Structure 1
């Protein structure tokens, strides 16, 4: 009975270790994805600002 309990505890310990590793990988992927999204948003804002500035110069040169 005692050996069976120890085996079950060892198996649960292995599963918890495995899950911890998987969760760490998911957190790393999540943080990377957040960084990519922030970068894409920044590039989008920069492109919008450049386009708006270019449009203002084009509008001003036609007068």
Structure 2
């Protein structure tokens, strides 16, 4: 999720705003876990980007 990095935000900051743990957010960001529909909607609203676009995991995200 390069959107977070482009905004200069930490995983902790995003996780606090959307109401999930930092660990859960990290797993979503790296593709180890899929978000629930509700969390995907919160991410979409927070970043202003369709969830389908947000959840495209790149090799850079896996690092």
TM-score using structure 2 length:
0.21
Higher relative contact order structure (alpha carbons within 8 Å, sequence separation ≥ 6):
2
| Structure with greater proportional helix content | 1
Q: Whose radius of gyration is greater, 1 or 2?
A: 1
TM-score normalised by the chain length of structure 1 = 0.21
